[in-house]
Structure 1
């Protein structure tokens, strides 16, 4: 299988990463299969796909936040260090300091019985070894940095007392409080109205530039991906099916699933044209078709699609898992 070529600016590299879940008396089920990608310093890589494609599982594997019944095979290398070979305590410490995580549902991610002050101060003190006073000062500074005025007294609040937009800003402040180099934003605008979605995404983009952060943006929204990412990886049924510079993939997708996903985006539709949909459903992971996993839903399927597909080069920094790519093979 083709792999991204590491460069001097590569901060994170995944090579053939597979995530499996085990249940008593049942064979392990692969949730993500053979994911290979890289994230460079200062860039935003978007991972896009329908629900159940494996986007969030991949992100949780990177941040060492998987459930205890899940296991990871393959290589996850951060800044030259193989994370899966580190002792658990060392990996948690590195992830807590170097990798920030913005969860998609702040209402569920934040503890309902702890004040925002306590939830922010604890990890700052743990990872930075500072006093409670210094940690609170850092928390206040970060809240102000993400657009929360000091007079709002958010630190004394509980999650149910905050609006959706404020909750998400608190999540971003917590993710950045320990000075990470990589931030993973997992559907960061879920359940927010359109105006607040725009504010949150502009905030993340501004922080990425000002703090010189690398970012992984998990999304199903093509319009957000188009505006805020440099490169994109398209996932389907636990596999990456296409990667490349965002603008090139959106304008000239090579994999039929990528093209269908992009065409189904409301912002791509031209009135009064009916919004296209992708026929069928994402297959259950224990009932995957032979060969290409998208084959049963694909209008471009050919005989070769019944065989397993590898990621193939499709031009400069372009890969697609398809034997009949749109536009022809290169």
Structure 2
């Protein structure tokens, strides 16, 4: 019986929602081909209890590789562990998240096994036991379907696109300590610089406030920051590609085809016209609010609520209205 493997990322000993999405995709394929979904987690000591929670995403077994050298991502440490584990089982496919880590590790694994890599997958269906994948091309203007003639099939899936399953299955967690020789490494982590204290990752936030060229100047971002602060702590700032390319905002905030895909409960697009590439990165948001002075801006075609007006007049009033509502509670 062929199984499907999901590579599960952890950060500081915690497994995030993106990992559950990868496991759910693996479980979907496994159910179609009559196999089971397994997960592989790499990290420092103490990951076993966190791995048990993957049962609700569809995993029936989890292998936990624990070693101090795996606490921080290093391709020279991770690659042999993943490849050896893959070779030790009968895995038909291996799924990674198309995160910064997945985009680095997945092609290394594919190259080590001399198989192709399918990247940035946004859809999957199975026909006669063969998975057919969908991915965007031409900067999101079109989509292509493809299959991979390889054993195993290796793909990365775009975050916040696939639904996370809700399974009620038992899970078997096994732990092993890999043999790692760091003396042979050519790559070492010297320093890790994280986001500012209290900052929320745009791909994980419940609310995203995004700005575009309509803000006219990077100094005007304060109106977005004020709105973010009044909404609450689980709110992140986002940005269009245009302002990131202009150097106004960091790439970590970019939403869209070449940035991050987000699926918050609320997405507020301010001064963003709505290029196809940007819409591809936020279309799965539960509720979309758009503020733009151009009534014909494409963003309004996707918005649940639209405000046509000058953002420098609309946003301060929106901020004050939210403050007033909160003061009543």
Report the TM-score when normalising by structure 2: 0.25
Looking at both structures, which has the greater relative contact order when contacts are Cα pairs under 8 Å and sequence separation is at least 6?
1
Structure (1/2) with the larger strand percentage: 2
